[in-house]
Amino acid sequence: MDRRNFLKKAGAFCARLGLVLAVGYPAFAFVLHSSRRTVHVIFLHQERLGRVSFKNGVFLLQREQRLKAVSARCTHLGCTVQHDPVSDRFVCPCHGSVFDAEGHRIRGPAEKDLEILPVTISKEGDITASYTL
Ligand code: FES
């Protein structure tokens, strides 16, 4: 293959690649965005036994008269944090991030607090926390 033919074929290849990316990326982004879904985790009244309850990736914190739902997903790379009842802190087993009893970051590598989740309470006292995947 001579130089002229090579440049011709390389130019055609780049044009096709550009076309594929121009059409493909928006389609991929649309599919990715439309596949997001909301997960509802329901804590039945009788399931809430202590100050910290855990279910399906959600910690439900009951402190005095306050109720708060916190995602168990570490804000560093997404591992599931564990609650340490002795220190009343959340610890990530993957890289050692630590969060206080309210989910605020104490030390990294995570740079953000645990995500606070919206909560609704039914008239029966069941609590629903929601998050988006
Ligand atoms: S995923 Fe939690 S510290 Fe890295």
Nearest ligand 1 atom to the CA of 79 is 1
| Cα 132 to Cα 38: distance, rounded to the nearest angstrom | 4
Q: What is the CATH number of the domain that holds 118?
A: 2.102.10.10
Backbone angles phi, psi at 104, to 5 degrees: -80, 140
Please report the pLDDT score of residue 1 as a whole number.
Answer: 77
For residue 70, the SS3 value is strand
Residue nearest to atom 1 of ligand 1 (CA): 77
For ligand 1, whether the C-beta of 77 sits within 6 Å is yes
Identify whether residues 31 and 82 lie together within a single domain.
no
For residues 69 and 101, membership in a common domain is answered with yes
Answer whether 79 contacts ligand 1 (Cβ < 6 A): yes
77 and 123 within one domain = yes
- Which structural domain range is residue 2 located in? 1-35
How far is it, in rounded angstroms, from Cα 58 to Cα 103? Answer: 12
Same domain, 45 and 16: no
Number of independent structural domains in the chain: 2
In a shared domain, residues 12 and 64: no
Residue 119's nearest CA partner among 111, 130, 110 is 130
**pLDDT at 112 (0 to 100):** 95
pLDDT surpasses 90 at 97: yes
Q: What is the pLDDT of residues 66-84, one digit of tens each?
A: 889 999 999 999 999 999 9
Whether residue 43 is found in the same domain as residue 99: yes
> Looking at the structure, do residues 81 and 57 belong to the same domain, yes or no?
yes
pTM: 0.69
Same domain, 50 and 100: yes
Tell me the pLDDT tens digit for each residue of 26-72.
666 666 666 778 889 898 877 766 788 899 999 999 888 888 999 99
Specify whether 17 is located in the same domain as 69: no
Residues 29, 43 within the same domain: no
Is 72 close to ligand 1, i.e. is its CB under 6 Å away?
no
Q: What's the gap in Å between 48 CA and the centre of ligand 1?
A: 27
Q: Give the model's pLDDT for residue 30.
A: 63
Q: Are residues 24 and 43 in the same domain?
A: no
Average pLDDT estimate for 94-118: 94
